[in-house]
Amino acid sequence: MTSYNIELGQKIKEARKKRKMTQAQLAEKLSITPQYLGNIENSRANPGVNVLICLANELGMTLDFMLMDQVEDKKSAYEEEILKLVQKYPKNKLDRLYQFIKVFTEMEE
């Protein structure tokens, strides 16, 4: 069993729990069995590309984030996730978000 499988399964499980979904609920949305989803989460099965795409969509993740440890440029994966979060942020509060990020990055310098 590779570390890729373990990390992928953990990410899926954590994202599912964060969304307060049971394996049965998520499996139903994906049209797979709860047993198969459990095997994916416990690194006993490798999901195919179609299942990975469906998982990413249902759990609000990108494929590169799910597979991040296999992606050489991790920074771009984070940038994409941050951009998605910013795009969801209310437009009337973007100035506040900008100010927060600016102050935070200045503190890190």
* CA distance linking residue 64 with residue 33, whole number of Å: 25
**Residue 96 amino acid letter:** R
Which is more confident, 78 or 20?
20
Domain boundaries along the sequence of the chain:
1-70, 72-109
At residue 71, the pLDDT reads: 47
Q: Contact 22/15 with Cβ under 8 angstroms?
A: no
The rounded mean pLDDT for the chain is 86
Q: Contact 39/68 with Cβ under 8 angstroms?
A: no
* CA distance linking residue 70 with residue 4, whole number of Å: 7
How is domain 1-70 classified at the CATH fold level?
434 Repressor (Amino-terminal Domain) (1.10.260)
Which is more confident, 80 or 50?
50
